[in-house]
Structures are given as C-alpha cells and as structure tokens.
Structure 1
Amino acid sequence: MRCGVVVEDLAVEVTAELPNDHARREVLALIECVRHDPRAWPDVRDPGPGEEIREAFERRCWVQYMPHARAIEVREIHWIG
C-alpha cells in the first residue's frame, strides 16, 4: 500500500513493463488524481456484483480501480502510448 493506494499484482507487472519513465509518471499521475477524488470517475460495474468498480482515463492510459474507505485498489492499468 502506498499513500492510500493498493495495487493488484497484474497492475504492478504492467507498470514495470511500461516503455519509459514518462509513461510511468503519466500512469502514476492518473492514479494520484483518482486517489484524491475516487468517485469523480464513472462506475463501470455490471448490475449484479456488489463491488464498486470505476475507470479513470488519461490521454494514453487508463486504470480500473475500486474505491475503499481511505484508499483505492488499482486492479488494472492499461497503456496505449
């Protein structure tokens, strides 16, 4: 856990495979924005599950996450740059 952020194993692997430091900074900046206001991004869950799953987008990346009381859980990171 880092400053209210829990990152799933797959998301950690994707972050490690990003092409350069600029890409990592862009992804981390998006995660920081999400951490500050996690419910500002759209809820994308299916009607059935009880989990609140949201997605946040930047120009070349997006993250899928779950907000919790004092943290966010980053489930997936995608990079298209």
Structure 2
Amino acid sequence: MVFEELAVEVLAEPPTDEARREVIALVELVRADPRAWPDVRDPGSIEEIREAFGAHCWIQFMPFAGAIEVREIGWVG
C-alpha cells in the first residue's frame, strides 16, 4: 500500500480516532479487491483511478501490481 503525500497528511489528522479506524478499514477492504470499486478516471486518462466510500469517509486510489496507491482521503460530514 502506498499513500500519496496529501493522503498521509489527511490521515495524520482525522477528525476522530473512530474516523481513522474507519478509513483504515476501508483501505483494507479496497486492497482485498481493488477493481470491485468504480473507475472514475477522466476520459482519455491512462491512469486507472477508483473511488470507494465508507459511512463517513472516502478514498481515491490507483490499483497497481497487486497493491493500491491511495491518492486522496476525505471525510463526510
């Protein structure tokens, strides 16, 4: 698992400990089956960008070589 710099910064300061646990659980779920989540890349883009949503968080990621690269993390609410 690889986290982009901005994702690392966001994960370092979640709104609550519960939020941090939720995003980690979502990342683990995505890592197990990354292509089960919708592809949201822009038309013509060669990068495969996917998004996954939890109850209070979301992540944007790229699957590659049996791993995922987390590009963005967001909090709902």
TM-score, scaled to structure 2: 0.96
The CA distance in 2 between the partners of 1:69 and 1:11, in whole Å, is: 20
Moved over 6 A (4+): none
Structure 2 gaps of 5+ residues are none
Structure 1 gaps of 5+ residues are none
In percent, how many aligned pairs have the same letter?
71
Alignment match of 2:10 (pick from 10, 14, 19): 14
**What is the CA RMSD across the aligned residues, in angstroms?**
0.8
Find the residue that maps to 1:74 and give its secondary structure.
Answer: strand
Deviation readout 1:45-73 (Å, 9 max, x if unpaired): 01111000000001110000000012100
Between Structure 1 and Structure 2, how many residues are aligned?
A: 77
Partner of 1:33: 29
